[in-house]
């Protein structure tokens, strides 16, 4: 029960199956992007590339990446 709406167990199972499938495909794509770039670690750029067909998701990921980079930069400056 979320936001005052009830959903059936079958609906919940269907959504779970779809999300699981999407996550598996995304993981495979991320591994392929990293491998193509001759890296063993997935980068934020790989994640952005994976989200390239969904503008809203791509924008949200880009904004989060910028926030993370800014926080890391300010932490490095404080240490110096």
| Residue 2, pLDDT score | 60
Looking at residue 3, the DSSP 8-state letter turns out to be T
Spatial separation of the C-alpha atoms in residues 63 and 10, rounded to whole Å: 35
Cα–Cα distances in Å, from 60 out to 28, 33, 75?
Answer: 21, 20, 23
Please give the domain boundaries of the chain with CATH numbers for all domains: 9-79 (1.10.20.10)
HEC secondary structure over 24-60: HHHHHHHHHHHHHCCCCCCCHHHHHHHCCCCHHHHHH
**Which has the higher per-residue pLDDT, 4 or 80?**
4
- Segment 14-54, tens digit of pLDDT: 999 999 999 999 999 999 999 999 999 999 999 999 999 99
pTM of the model: 0.73
| Residue 28, pLDDT score | 97
């Amino acid at each position: 029960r979320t936001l005052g709406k009830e959903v059936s167990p079958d609906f919940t199972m269907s959504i779970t199956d779809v999300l699981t499938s999407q996550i598996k495909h995304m993981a495979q794509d991320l591994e392929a992007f990293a491998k193509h770039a001759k890296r063993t670690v997935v980068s934020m750029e790989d994640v952005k590339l994976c989200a390239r067909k969904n503008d809203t998701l791509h924008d949200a990921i880009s904004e989060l990446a910028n926030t993370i980079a800014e926080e890391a930069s300010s932490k490095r400056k404080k240490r110096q």
